[in-house]
């Protein structure tokens, strides 16, 4: 089994009293300081004979003193604006109240201990606890809050050896994707060997107690490690108590050039499984028999078109998830000695719904997406359906995976108004029982979520889930946040966010659209939002906004849009194509320069979704047309905008946001503020401390309510 433990602390709700005490009006006028005079350079790139000006190219140098000075000046303007918003402190206090409850993850067993993550409420990082099986006496096993004084060094990933005696964990400093790896003896928590450095985009796969496999790139020797390209992934084996310099290259490198290489072992540790890819979608699949010292890697699937993974080795057979000849996914079984596709036999055939599959207790759990919500079925080892698991409602269920010997597992059910109930599930009987329900100071019974289907520009029906207070009056005045992503085969299923409670309790609307480019309806839905069809994603989002306005949920004067990373691109493209449609825009850590995104870090791997400006003149012209940085027009009145990014983001480098914000401030012809909020000593978002998250969310809601001129009701 793939020994990767998600660092997710799941939560539950109970009802608490809420009482409106007073209303704080937005400021009638805020003194917006002059934007920094961002220097321009005479820089022109040529693409297929076309000249493209890039006057803010110098902001790509994240290490220069000039860039650091610009960041400081922009943050000063932003902070000056935000501190004038009269209800900013009240929103922060309310967010701290909402966040301040105990959060505990589902437990998992390793060796003689049961482990789980817990956060007492406002701790910056969740703490890993453990207790001996059948004991109530818990102890702190690892406290990430002690990694750094400001909480910006986080726990990134963990992995136990099969017998539970050894524990390897990754840390991220300042949010960087470059990681360090530390190994502990679980008995006494003593450090084993040296700390590994410069590990990136990697799991940790133990081979007995001998050592583990991990992946990384050669760290750039010139320029910034935060922005330089990382294009050649390598899989290494680290033997404990030996220097990292002696680690053996196992796969990849110059012999087989791939951008992404991952590895894990089957639960019985008979096989090493390697996935290799050049893009974020599609991978080759290889296995190596670890019981035969002379064995070579065997190619199970040699194409990069579809996604594949080995789930388990069971009685000499491999269970393989594949999209080969099955865009929505299927599970096949094959003799491990002859694993290529011509020998495959279906265990679970493809259906109309997208399949995600896991195993545990000798069973197979098939999780399907039905209009972006969960449906889970249990099969036996022969692929025979045993039952459909009864879920608490319409939402997202996850965690249906366990070890072969386990008789039970823990799963989580969540929705936009259910903050993550944990259930214990008996694999043999199919019975679920409530395991944990922490308390949140919020009355969820007053709110509802419903799914609607609206029509996009080309006639495509698109689902959207809308959440608001029961009895909401559809009069077009409700403050509304529309969120989307639309890319990389990622499905937006119902999930809880503490932050959105601020909007809901103010009588607002939270809407999430399941745009093309995502994975909600399989490969066809994903492909329909890629490369030369990327405009479909923006059209879907714009149509969602028009639906909310037409149905009187809101109006353009009360509509905000939000998205991060690829979703930041979505917001940037939508606000440049239809600036009059939105009052407020939040492009977060966005991909905003579509002509150069593939020049930084691992950006070239995103070409499956985007294409690149080097591909062809047609692809260049298509990208240029919607690229937010290039689509800005001088004199246009754009929505009130707060760009958010971080100075250590080495996935979507901050240069995207820097350049976009600089040109937006230059070209903006309206009165609305255009700000950029730049976190320092932070990255793309993962591992961000609780205090940093609350501070950012405080500023977002404050900015939104202020620019909508919406009074804030203080709630206790």
Helix (H, G, I), strand (E, B) or coil at 426: strand
Give the span between the Cα atoms of 192 and 687, in whole angstroms.
Answer: 24
For 361-398, where are the E strands, in sequence order? 363-370, 373-379, 385-388, 396-398
Dihedral class, residue 316 (left if φ above 0, else alpha if ψ from -120 to 50, else beta): left
> Which DSSP letter does residue 206 get?
E
| Residue 610 near residue 531 (C-beta atoms within 8 A) | yes
Q: Which residues contact 312 (CB under 8 A, 6 or more apart)?
A: 1, 266, 267, 318, 319, 359, 404
Give the span between the Cα atoms of 419 and 583, in whole angstroms.
Answer: 29
Give the span between the Cα atoms of 153 and 176, in whole angstroms.
Answer: 9
Number of residues in the chain:
716
Give the Cβ contact number of residue 245 at 10 Å.
Answer: 6
| Residue 483 near residue 510 (C-beta atoms within 8 A) | yes
3-class secondary structure for 316-366?
CEEEEEECCCCCCCEEEEEECCCCCHHHCEEEECCCCCEEEEEEECCEEEE
* Residues annotated as part of the active site: 565, 684
| Residue 595 near residue 45 (C-beta atoms within 8 A) | yes
* Packed helices 566-577 and 655-667: angle between N→C axes, nearest 10 degrees: 10
């Amino acid at each position: 089994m793939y020994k990767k433990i998600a660092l997710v602390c799941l939560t539950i709700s109970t009802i608490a009293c809420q009482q409106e005490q007073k209303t704080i009006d937005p400021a009638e006028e805020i003194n917006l300081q002059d934007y920094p005079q961002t220097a321009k350079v005479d820089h022109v790139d040529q693409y297929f004979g076309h000249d493209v000006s890039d006057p803010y190219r110098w902001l790509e140098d994240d290490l220069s003193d000039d860039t650091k000075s610009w960041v400081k000046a922009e943050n000063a303007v932003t902070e000056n604006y935000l501190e004038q918003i009269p209800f900013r402190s009240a929103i922060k206090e309310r967010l701290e109240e909402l966040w301040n409850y105990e959060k505990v993850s589902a437990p998992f067993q390793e060796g003689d201990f049961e482990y789980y993550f817990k956060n007492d409420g406002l701790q910056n990082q969740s703490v890993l606890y453990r207790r001996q099986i059948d004991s109530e006496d818990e102890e702190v096993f690892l406290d990430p809050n002690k990694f750094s004084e400001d909480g910006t060094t986080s726990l990134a990933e963990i992995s136990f050896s099969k017998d539970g005696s050894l524990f390897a964990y990754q840390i991220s400093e300042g949010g960087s994707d470059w990681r360090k790896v530390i190994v502990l003896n679980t008995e006494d928590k003593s450090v084993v060997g040296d700390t590994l450095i410069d590990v990136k985009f990697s799991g940790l796969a133990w081979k007995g107690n001998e050592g583990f496999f991990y992946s990384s790139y050669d760290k750039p020797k010139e320029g910034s490690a935060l922005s330089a390209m990382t294009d050649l992934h390598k899989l290494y084996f680290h033997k404990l108590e030996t220097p990292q310099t002696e680690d053996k290259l196992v796969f990849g490198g110059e012999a087989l050039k791939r951008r992404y290489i991952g590895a894990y072992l089957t639960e019985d540790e008979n096989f090493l499984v390697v996935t290799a890819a050049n893009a974020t979608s599609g991978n080759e699949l290889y296995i190596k028999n670890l019981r035969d010292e002379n064995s070579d890697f065997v190619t199970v699937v040699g194409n990069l078109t579809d996604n594949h993974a080995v789930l388990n080795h069971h009685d000499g057979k491999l269970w393989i998830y594949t999209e080969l000849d099955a865009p929505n996914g299927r599970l096949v079984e094959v003799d491990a000695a002859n694993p290529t596709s011509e020998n495959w036999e279906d265990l679970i055939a493809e259906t109309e719904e997208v399949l995600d599959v896991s195993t545990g207790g000798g069973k197979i759990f098939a999780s399907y997406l039905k209009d972006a919500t969960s449906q889970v079925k249990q099969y036996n080892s022969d692929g025979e359906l045993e039952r459909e698991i009864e879920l608490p409602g319409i939402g997202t269920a996850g965690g249906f995976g366990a070890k072969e010997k386990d008789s039970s597992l823990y799963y989580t059910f969540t929705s936009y108004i259910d903050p993550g109930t944990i259930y214990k599930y008996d694999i043999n009987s199919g019975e679920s029982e409530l395991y944990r329900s922490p308390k949140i100071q919020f009355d969820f019974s007053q709110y509802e979520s419903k799914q609607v289907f609206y029509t996009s520009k080309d006639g495509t029906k698109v689902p959207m889930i809308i959440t608001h207070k029961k009895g909401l009056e559809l009069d077009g005045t409700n403050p509304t946040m529309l969120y989307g992503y639309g890319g990389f085969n990622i499905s937006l299923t119902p999930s809880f966010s503490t932050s959105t409670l601020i909007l809901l309790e103010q009588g607002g609307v939270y809407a999430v659209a399941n745009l093309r480019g995502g994975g909600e309806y399989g490969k066809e839905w994903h492909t329909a939002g890629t490369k030369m069809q990327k405009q479909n994603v923006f059209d879907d989002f714009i149509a969602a906004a028009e639906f909310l306005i037409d149905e009187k949920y809101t109006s353009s004067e009360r509509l905000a849009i939000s998205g991060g990373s690829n979703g930041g691109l979505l917001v940037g493209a939508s606000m440049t194509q239809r600036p009059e449609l939105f009052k407020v825009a939040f492009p977060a850590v966005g991909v905003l320069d579509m002509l150069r995104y593939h020049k930084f870090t691992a950006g070239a791997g995103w070409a499956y979704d985007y294409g690149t400006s080097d591909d062809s003149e047609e692809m260049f012209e298509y990208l240029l047309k919607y690229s937010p940085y290039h689509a800005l027009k001088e004199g246009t009145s754009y929505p009130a905008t707060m760009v958010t990014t971080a100075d250590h983001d080495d996935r979507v480098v901050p240069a995207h946001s820097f350049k976009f914000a600089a040109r937006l401030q230059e070209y903006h012809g309206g009165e609305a503020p255009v700000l950029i909020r730049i976190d320092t000593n932070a990255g793309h978002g993962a591992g961000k401390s609780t205090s940093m998250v609350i501070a950012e969310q405080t500023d977002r809601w404050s900015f939104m309510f202020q620019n909508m001129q919406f009074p804030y009701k203080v709630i206790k």
